[in-house]
Amino acid sequence: MASTGVHGSRRPQVVVVGGGMAGVAAAQRLVQEGLTHVKILEARDRVGGRIWTQYFGSDTTLEFGGNWIHGSIGNPIYELAKQHGLLRDEVKPEDLDRPNVRELENEKFLMPGGKVIDEAVVVSFLKNYNEVIEECDAVFKEGRPVQPGDSAGDFIRQELPKQLALSNDIDAVKCTKMALLKHFLKLETCITGCHDMGEESLEYFGQYKELEGDHYNNPSGYNVILDLILKTIPPDCMAYNKKVQCIRWRGEGKKRSESAHSADGVEVECEDGQVFSADHVIVTVPLGYLKKNSRNLFQPPLPEEKLASIERMGFGVVNKIFLTFQKPFWDTDCEALHLVWDQDESNPKGPEEWYKKTYCFYIDSKAPNTLLGWISGREAEYMETLSEEEIADTFVGLLKKFTGKEDIPQPVRTMITRWGSDALTCGSYSYIHVGEKGDDINTVAEPLYRDNTEIPVVQFAGEATHSEFFSTVHGAYLSGQREANRLVNLYASSETSKS
Ligand SMILES: Cc1cc2nc3c(=O)[nH]c(=O)nc-3n(C[C@H](O)[C@H](O)[C@H](O)COP(=O)(O)OP(=O)(O)OC[C@H]3O[C@@H](n4cnc5c(N)ncnc54)[C@H](O)[C@@H]3O)c2cc1C
């Protein structure tokens, strides 16, 4: 076995590129373990990346990025929030038997003309729908044979109508359920992050692991959780407005060698010309950023195998729409207004029908006067080109159409997220694209090692590098810890071999 080559240095310099959840979690772990020479280089003037809470007055907290803590059992973010009393509800033991159940009684399913779909129809539809989703899950979990090009969307679109055909429903109910199918497939794209479920791999659909427990909302905002972690890191570890433009990770590529570290280590050059030398670099930039920039970001370039995995992996756009009204025009116990189009009208026929992809407006207790819409894919990207005024007009028209109320006022504030055109993210979160290989995530996560050694010089963290919890905050957190632990173990083993 090759030697680690680390000669007992307990003072390695570690540069972390990106100050999102993965970056701060990595830094926290290193500092906790005494590896205190850490610098986080963050391109923005704020920490958090895709965690971004905005406060408006005392009663409105909007999450532009991550919102929910997905599950409790085994979720370090849930544990942290619980420890600090940040959760509204504790997990109820009975919830553990029926994880992530959607409570529908306060959700309204509206159709054009103000027709409200009977809750019993929705419940009966969801019973079939959830069974088909479980079948998709089982493909991965039970290793059922499928073709690499098969998509979850095609599978659901084939299987669900078969189940509906077996029911005793009258034709009108069958039509409504087909409309609900198209509706829930739009919702599914916002959960997974793809444009259409036809792009989501059937083979690896079940690779994402749902943690047991509910989805938790943190009333104080996700930034508060981030702050808890930040407090454990010395402030001078964090450098803002430091956009990294080149990571020179092998001797021959390096231009400067003013530091003792640079001979074997890495040089990280920022856009403003400042160069940081390090023994190890943990790169946590989003997969979307890597897709656009990885060929220029590294010198020498990344190995072809890693570049091919980055290219194959899915990274989509999901945006939020916030319409704030003077006061609610909806019932105050209502938690969601679903806009269910007739099945022939449901899918956008072109960019001018982008709004059809917004399947629902949720009402969050963190912003009681605000309707929160979700939109995915190419339509989400198209929406980013429109003005807030145009977006408000479109949705007020839609809300009138679906509620049958003509007296809906204009919102007092309209805001949308623009994750697709955000040059430091280039999208929202990762998913497993049709044709992706099962181990692409691990290939991307694999460090680059110093020649002929087991010493990692460039490591990769971030939500997209977690093989089970990709696309989540807890996935990002755990990936940061994983890479920090790699260094902690490396230096611990070199200490042991010295003594
Ligand atoms: C709309 C939306 C809703 C979501 N909802 C949820 C949810 O409810 N629950 C959940 O668990 N997850 C949710 N997520 C996902 C979650 O927010 C992310 O998975 C997680 O925050 C990603 O953390 P990260 O550290 O991997 O990446 P990021 O947070 O993106 O951090 C990467 C950092 O790298 C910086 N960076 C990029 N390029 C450079 C460069 N060249 N030099 C220096 N810095 C650079 C970026 O500015 C950024 O700060 C949501 C995401 C979005 C967009």
Same domain, 326 and 386: yes
Count of C-beta atoms within a 10 Å radius of residue 440? 24
- Residue 252 pLDDT: 52
- Name the amino acid, one letter, at 170: I
Residue of 103, 107, 67, 111 whose CA lies nearest to 88: 67
- Residue 34 pLDDT: 94
- Cα dihedral 49, 51, 53, 54 in deg (nearest 10): 40
Identify which of 50, 53, 297, 415 to mutate to test ligand 1's pocket (most ligand atoms within 8 A of the CB): 50
Let me know: does 38 contact 27? Beta carbons within 8 Å.
yes
Please give the tally of structural domains in the chain: 2
CA of 77, closest atom in ligand 1 = 11
Residue reference for tokens 């450098």 = 239
Let me know: does 265 contact 13? Beta carbons within 8 Å.
yes
Same domain, 287 and 255: yes
- Cα dihedral 83, 460, 205, 195 in deg (nearest 10): 100
Let me know: does 180 contact 47? Beta carbons within 8 Å.
no
Which residue has the CA at smallest separation from atom 26 of ligand 1?
462
Q: What range does the domain containing 124 cover? A: 101-209+318-416
> Could you tell me if residue 80 is inside a domain?
no
C-alpha of residue 287 to centroid of ligand 1, in Å: 10
Q: Is the pTM of this model over 0.85?
A: yes
Count of C-beta atoms within a 10 Å radius of residue 162? 10
Q: Which SS3 state, helix, strand or coil, does residue 43 take?
A: coil
How far CA 56 is from CA of 50, 369, 398, 412, in Å, comes to 19, 11, 26, 13
Quick one: average pLDDT of 378-389?
98
Q: Among residues of the chain, what percentage have pLDDT more than 90?
A: 83
Q: Point out the domain boundary residue: 384, 416, 448.
A: 416
CATH number, domain with residue 120: 3.90.660.10
> Could you tell me if residue 266 is inside a domain?
yes
Does residue 261 register a pLDDT over 90?
Answer: no
The predicted-structure confidence for 343-374, as pLDDT tens digits, reads as follows 999 999 988 999 999 999 999 888 999 999 99
Which residue has the CA at smallest separation from atom 5 of ligand 1?
66
> Could you tell me if residue 185 is inside a domain?
yes
Let me know: does 317 contact 427? Beta carbons within 8 Å.
yes
Residue of 188, 209, 207 whose CA lies nearest to 197: 188
CA of 461, closest atom in ligand 1 = 26
Does residue 449 register a pLDDT over 70?
Answer: yes
The predicted-structure confidence for 36-65, as pLDDT tens digits, reads as follows 999 999 999 999 999 999 999 888 999 999
Count of C-beta atoms within a 10 Å radius of residue 337? 20
Max CA separation in the chain (angstroms): 79
> Could you tell me if residue 85 is inside a domain?
no
